[in-house]
Chains A and B, each alone.
Chain A
Amino acid sequence: MKRFLIYITKIFFVIILLAIVLDGLYTAIFMQSENRGKIETVFNSKAQQYDVVILGSSRANNHFVSQMFEDKGLKTFNYGMSGGHLFEASLLLKLMIERKYTIKNVILEADLNLSTDHEAEGIAAKFLPYIHNSKVIKDHFATQENSNELYYIPFYRYIKYETKIGFRETFFTAVHKKTNALDNLGYYPLGFKKNANMKGNLTNLNPLPNNKYYEEIKNICKINNIRFIPVMTPVCENEIGMNYFDKVKKAYPEIHNYENVVVENKYFSSCGHMNDTGAKIFTAKILKDFFNK
């Protein structure tokens, strides 16, 4: 039995050693990431200057045409992330401030995402390779349920979120395989889909009063003298439960309601996402209302 216990101890030692080595290796590779995604790019960047930074979910990513801002002479990047919540938008802005970005305006898509203050696992995971290299990330995750495991157990975060930061992503990062996340200054145009699902239902959705991460973004902007422009973006005309936007307006009067600026189905790729034509109409309206000097 003694020999067996020594044998088992050896295996445990091998597991711990491998976890530490793999953790170091993966992290080192992610520290070199340049062209894979918005989070990695911001983390590995130095001080930048922006006139406009756009934050939010896919409804920011697909709705704000960065080039139209640039055409007006405004240095802009769309940092909207498909599937992301305000948890990640707030952390990304914190990272930018940590890296001494100078930002004049932040446009935040704040509508459906106000109904949650949880992390979006798939997006939040992309911050985790850097948890030991950024106090901002460590502190932001400190309130999360499994923060201690993610921080202290070597390689645990890479195993838990293996589809996002596992071997495959690490390999592509190591060989610098480019994604399209940074194309079009971060804006991702959608096409018109003939048989797209043009039905949506917001009846069960309610905006959280004092959403923690919305308030965080608002405060960061205030402290850093950034003009904060929160907006609700359009949904298609078939959407059920449109009074959601009224509820948002009631809870957050400062959020500008653009939900009904574009309504016709021909401008949508799906009920919650405009196509490129719709996005251009919407962006023109935003530019006219907020940047028309």
Chain B
Amino acid sequence: MFFNSLAFAIFLPIVFFLYWFVFNKTKSAQNALLIVASYYFYSCWDWRFLFLLVFSTFLDYYTGIQIEKGKSEQNRKFWFWLSISVNLGFLGVFKYYNFFAASFSELLNSAGFHASPILLNVILPVGISFYTFHGLSYVIDIYFKRIKAERNFVDYSLFVSYFPLLVAGPIERATHLLPQVKVKREFNYQTAKEGVCQIIWGLVKKVVIADTCATYANAIFDHYTSMNSFSLILGAVYFAFQIYGDFSGYSDIALGVSKLFGLDLLRNFNYPYFSRDIAEFWRRWHISLSSWFRDYLYIPLGGSKGGIWMKIRNTFIIFVVSGFWHGANWTYLAWGFINAIYFLPLLLSNSNRNNMGAIQLKFNFDSAKIIMSILYTFSLTCIAWVFFRARTITDAILYLKRIFTSKDFSFQYLDNERYSYELLAMIGLFVLVEWNNRNKIEPLSGKRNILKLALAILAIMAFGTFSDYKEFIYFQF
């Protein structure tokens, strides 16, 4: 059941009605309804994965309590590592086993040994990377005594399985969501209204921007060997907007839906393409994952403290692991590695926190410099996205090489029976709208709300891509 499907358009009002009109007496009733709705939502993909979700939930719930109750450090450690290893074990089996087995076999073959890998015939359970990370952060926080273990299984289950964030995040923290789940929610008109605006803006990003860009990006990436320099540059830009519209659109819908139920989720995107350097980009892109890796990997490794080699090591670890989190493919590792290379000079020169404030533009030289730095950062990001999108690292390198060797900047007619440049006006308009609203969560709320909503709905109806249906990219992670 996708957020942009008819099934969800029926599911959501039913759950909303039951939540506020039938199960609204107590917090327990509200939570129980949301759990049932969440499990139903998840089982719409494949009911068999529900067992994995429930097992993972129970494991972290139980080990969390055992860690807290543990009398000796050894005992606490045992439950902690049990939880960590089982969680990562699931992730390893379902997501990474085949990749490692195939890569190892290739390595042996290239060394002259004959090896055929034993591969598992399993499909990746939807959202496993997201709910595993929910559970991991919970158990780690308990182990380091940052939070208390949750004793109410229903409340804890809701924290892990809450349907708006279940399959593609944002990756929530127990410190943020659990306290909200522990109290009865009261309906708030303003919050619900903001939620509706965020849902509709998320749909604009997904249906109008991401899915339309996908048509063009696919036509260019799938035939890059016959594309000229101009089309290849456009292909990278289209993919940049496809993945942004797709994932931030999903996050907006998730946050908006959650607001309808009175629960506030972590913000996941903050206009990342207006970043002035890569460090700022990573403070604005997939914020819940970046901060997760910062808090649970980077800082425990020593962070930016220590010597220069320590800094370099930690930077590469966090970016490469972050790339690998996205999927078992060398292209994701390369994407993480490239971002580490982008980030490292900023870290080593202590300028990774230079651009913390809001962007202010005036008619002066400094503003021109800001615009140039935004364009430069966006260009770097696009180069990295080529690795993320390409099927292999070789394809990505050849794609980038061809941009410089083709030297042809004419308009090309693509395989999708459209000209390569056709989306530029739409993207330009989208950037303009986002730029003018960069200090808000989304552009639709505020003054003339109904008019802005009408324009957004008009854009969805008239410019949206519907027939060539595409699922959300991040579901595969």
Q: Which of A's residues lie within 8 Å of B, judged by CB?
A: 1, 3-4, 7-8, 10-11, 14-15, 18-19, 22, 155, 159-164, 166-168
Known: A1-B187, A4-B193. A18 touches B465 (CB 8 A): no
Residue numbers in B under 8 Å from A164 (CB-CB)? 467
Q: Of B192, B193, B457, which is within 8 A of A15 by CB?
A: B457
The answer for the CA separation of A1 and B193 in the assembled complex, in Å, is 11
Which residues of B are found within 8 Å of A7, using beta-carbon distances?
189, 193, 196
Main secondary structure of the interface of A (DSSP, over half): helix
Contact code string B447-477 (vs A, CB < 8 Å = 1, else 0): 0001001100110011111111000000000
- B20 contacts A by Cβ under 8 Å: yes
A161 to B466, CA, bound (A): 8
Report chain B residues within 8 Å CB of A168.
418
Residues B468 and A159 in contact, CB atoms below 8 Å apart: no
Residues of B within 8 Å of A, CB-based: how many? 20
- Our pick among B20, B189, B458, B467 for the contact of A18 (Cβ within 8 Å) is B458
Q: Is the CB of B193 within 8 A of A167?
A: no
CB closest residue in chain B, given A161: B467
Taking CB atoms, residues of chain B closer than 8 Å to A22 are 458, 461-462
Q: In the complex, which residue of chain A has the Cβ closest to the Cβ of B451?
A: A14
Q: Which residues of B contact A163 (CB under 8 A)?
A: 467-468
**Inter-chain contact B463/A167, CB cutoff 8 Å:** yes
Given A160-B466, A167-B463, CB of A3 within 8 Å of CB of B189:
yes
29 CB < 8 A contacts A-B = A1-B20, A1-B189, A3-B189, A4-B187, A4-B189, A4-B192, A7-B189, A7-B196, A8-B196, A10-B450, A11-B196, A11-B450, A11-B453, A11-B457, A14-B454, A14-B457, A18-B461, A22-B458, A22-B462, A159-B461, A159-B464, A160-B467, A161-B467, A162-B465, A162-B467, A163-B467, A163-B468, A164-B467, A167-B462
Residues of B close to A160: CB separation below 8 A: 466-467
A11 to B196, CA, bound (A): 10
In the A-B complex, list the 5 residue pairs whose CB atoms are closest, starting with the nearest.
A14-B454, A167-B462, A3-B189, A163-B467, A4-B192
Number of residue pairs spanning A and B whose beta carbons lie under 8 angstroms apart: 48
The answer to whether B466 touches A14, judged by C-beta atoms less than 8 angstroms apart, is no
Shortest Cβ distance from residue A126 to the other chain B in the assembled complex, whole angstroms: 13
| CB proximity of B460 to chain A, nearest CB, Å | 9
B187 in contact with A14 (CB, 8 Å)? no
Q: A162-B464, A162-B465 are in contact. Are A18 and B457 (CB under 8 A)?
A: yes
**Complexed CA–CA distance, A10 and B462 (Å):** 20
Report the bound CA distance from A163 to B212 in whole Å.
11
Taking A11-B457, A155-B461 as known contacts, 4 extra A-B pairs with beta carbons closer than 8 A to each other, sorted by chain A number, are: A4-B189, A11-B450, A19-B461, A160-B467
CB pair B466–A162 under 8 Å, yes or no, is yes
Min CB distance A9 to B, Å, is: 12
Docked pose: A163 CA to B20 CA in angstroms: 40
Q: For residue A173, give the distance in angstroms from its CB to the closest CB of chain B.
A: 14
Per the bound structure, the CA–CA distance linking A61 and B468 in Å amounts to 26
